[in-house]
């Protein structure tokens, strides 16, 4: 671990910085992968688009719930800090184990692998190209953020602007350059279980907005700006995602989406032949890089928060004043993520397994976070000034019930992958008896 000094993260991020971070993390690989899966659970085009709209509404509900939590108790620890204050240090430590050992480095490695797959199309380095690209990208973006928070957020802003403009160009070209595809699709039945599975993929695509909670401790005037930053970022993501799905329907039709393993590439081949597929590959690379950079930024805050509370990990809980960044946390996170990439490159099962075994664990803790809103409200004395979620107590209940529903659906769908994820979580239970936890919340 490099030498560093103990300092507190300053409130240096603007609402625009956080909104761009949300867009960069969420608007990543999912929209180019999951629409074909959702289409297979949709009876017709109307149901297909309504499911995406429903997923967007659930995402907005989640964002306003997190906005209340983040504005009332801004903390670089994000969900870790919320769970710690609501349920105590033991539950928070179990969450930290799950997030730091599997969820976050697994997400970073998965994004890096997808970026590597598409980069290997643009500039082939077979047979180890995807793994090499993945390792290099993790190393570069870890180094950028090690240099400081400002270079990290500037990189995120530049790449994200290019990515969003490129996506808008792809959407416009899809409508301008092609005639509308037939609007009749093979009839499919849409059962409640099918809707649940479709929502699992849709919410996976929209997933990542909760990462903004880890930036609340660095957001300027978080009590006022947290809701604005989160909701604006989420609405941009929903708008672009709905537009892309409309473009898929326009060019391919519902059956064309169902029968494609790479719906974005299929659409762009019709729009602009193989050149279009290459252009899309470049856009996907940019998109995954913003996801990767955003996950590295927010994930390092998890290690940092854990290090503040566990004496044995104290070195990761220090903040490097020069550059204003959790330097040691970034190094540790990069090492764990790189190890997962090496494992995935050697076995070729890393990416597939990560999606399966992280989902149940993620939604279990999301359920606890939703319930924590009721706990915090019950403790308030009436004088607190912060953003409050509208339509309370209904809104947190929607998030809690949705989390429970997707938790069940992910367990039902993922099978052994889900069991492995739960097993990894249980391996961390001895940490519940670890001595040296600091009693105060910081």
Q: What structural domains and CATH numbers belong to the chain? A: 24-433 (1.20.1740.10)
Q: Who has greater pLDDT, 307 or 402?
A: 402
Handedness of CA 288, 47, 190, 238 (dihedral sign): positive
Mean pLDDT of 8-29: 76
Closest CA to 121 of 343, 315, 269, 311: 269
Q: Give CA–CA dist 431/428, Å, rounded.
A: 6
pLDDT of residue 34 exceeding 70, the answer is: yes
Note the pLDDT tens digit of each residue in 226-263. 888 888 889 998 998 999 999 999 988 888 888 886 78
Quick check: helix, strand or coil at residue 3?
Answer: coil
CA–CA dist 70, 43 (Å, integer): 39
Task: Tell me 5's DSSP state.
Answer: -
Section 199-213 average pLDDT: 81
Maximum mean pLDDT: which of 79-93, 267-281, 287-301 = 79-93
Cα Rg of the chain, angstroms = 21
Mean pLDDT, the chain, integer: 80
Tokens in use for 102?
A: 């599997």
- Compute the average pLDDT of residues 297-309: 79
CA 367/CA 401 separation, integer angstroms: 8
Take residue 270 and report the two structure tokens written for it: 């019709």
- Label residue 292 exposed, middle or buried (CB < 10 Å: 0-12, 13-18, 19+): buried
pLDDT in tens, 419-428: 777 887 888 7
Can you give the pLDDT at residue 177?
74
Count of alpha carbons within 13 Å of 8, Cβ hemisphere only?
8
N-term to C-term CA, the chain: 23
Task: State the Cα–Cα distance between residues 54 and 70, nearest whole angstrom.
Answer: 24
- Is 130 within 8 Å of 113 (Cβ atoms)? yes
Q: What is the pLDDT of residue 349?
A: 52
pLDDT at 439 over 50: no
CB-based contact 357:71 (threshold 8 Å):
no
1 class by beta-carbon count within 10 Å (0-12 exposed, 13-18 middle, 19+ buried): exposed
Sign of the torsion formed by the C-alpha atoms of 35, 38, 43 and 48 = negative
Tokens linked to 417: 């992958």
Question: What confidence score (pLDDT) does residue 259 get?
Answer: 85
Alpha helix stretches (DSSP H) within 259-326: 263-309
Q: Are 69 and 373 in contact (CB under 8 A)?
A: yes
Give the Cα separation of 433 and 82 in Å (integer).
20
- In angstroms, rounded to a whole number, what is the distance separating the alpha carbons of residues 135 and 142? 11
What integer is the mean pLDDT of 108-126? 80
pLDDT score of 308: 76
Q: What pLDDT score does 362 carry?
A: 87
Q: On the CB side of 270, how many CA atoms lie within 13 Å of its CA?
A: 24
Give the whole-angstrom CA distance, residue 167 versus residue 149: 27
Task: Report residue 424 CA to chain centroid gap.
Answer: 20
- C-alpha dihedral sign at 280, 265, 202, 293: negative
pLDDT band at residue 347 using 50, 70 and 90 as cut-offs:
low
pLDDT tens across 165-175, in order? Answer: 888 888 888 88
pLDDT at 434: 61
Average pLDDT of the segment spanning 137-157: 83
Residue 5 pLDDT exceeds 70: no
Dist CA 183 CA 357 (whole Å): 37
Q: Among 21-25, 42-46, 258-262, which range has the highest average pLDDT?
A: 42-46
Structure tokens, 403: 């989390």
């Amino acid at each position: 671990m490099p030498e560093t000094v103990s300092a507190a993260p300053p409130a240096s991020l603007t609402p625009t910085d956080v909104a761009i971070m949300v867009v960069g993390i969420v608007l990543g690989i999912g929209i180019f992968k999951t629409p074909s899966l959702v289409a297979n659970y949709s009876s017709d085009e109307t149901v297909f688009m309504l499911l995406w709209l429903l997923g967007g509404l659930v995402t907005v509900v989640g964002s306003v719930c997190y906005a209340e939590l983040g504005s009332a108790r801004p903390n670089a620890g994000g969900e870790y800090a919320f769970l710690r204050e609501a349920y105590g240090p033991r539950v928070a430590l179990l969450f930290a184990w799950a997030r730091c050992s599997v969820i976050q480095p697994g997400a970073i490695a998965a994004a890096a692998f997808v970026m590597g797959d598409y980069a290997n199309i643009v500039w082939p380095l077979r047979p180890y190209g995807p793994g090499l690209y993945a390792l290099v990208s993790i190393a570069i973006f870890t180094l950028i953020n090690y240099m400081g928070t400002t270079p990290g957020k500037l990189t995120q802003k530049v790449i994200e602007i290019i990515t969003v403009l490129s996506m808008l160009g792809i959407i416009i070209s899809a409508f301008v350059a092609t005639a509308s595809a037939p609007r009749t699709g093979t009839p499919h039945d849409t059962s409640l279980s099918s809707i649940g599975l479709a929502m699992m993929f849709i919410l996976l695509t929209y997933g990542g907005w909760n990462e903004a909670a880890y930036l609340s401790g660095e957001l300027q005037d978080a009590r006022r700006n947290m809701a604005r930053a989160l909701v604006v970022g989420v609405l941009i993501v929903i708008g672009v995602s709905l537009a892309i799905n409309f473009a898929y329907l326009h060019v391919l039709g519902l059956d064309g989406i169902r029968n494609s393993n790479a719906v974005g590439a299929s659409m762009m081949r019709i729009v602009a032949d193989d050149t279009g597929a290459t252009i899309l590959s470049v856009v996907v690379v940019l998109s995954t890089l913003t996801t990767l950079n955003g996950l590295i930024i927010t994930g390092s805050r998890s290690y940092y928060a854990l290090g503040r509370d566990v004496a044995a990990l104290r070195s990761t809980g220090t903040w490097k004043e020069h550059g204003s960044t959790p330097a040691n946390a970034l190094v540790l996170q990069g090492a764990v993520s790189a190890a997962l990439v090496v494992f995935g490159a050697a076995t070729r099962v890393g990416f597939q397994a990560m999606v399966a075994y992280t989902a149940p664990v993620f939604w279990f803790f999301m359920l606890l976070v939703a319930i924590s809103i009721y706990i915090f409200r019950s403790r308030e004395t009436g004088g607190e000034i912060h953003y409050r979620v509208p339509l309370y107590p209904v809104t947190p209940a929607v998030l809690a019930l949705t989390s429970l529903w997707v938790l069940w659906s992910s367990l039902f769908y993922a099978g052994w992958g889900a069991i492995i994820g739960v097993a990894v979580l249980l391996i961390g239970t001895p940490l519940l008896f670890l001595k040296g936890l600091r009693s105060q919340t910081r």
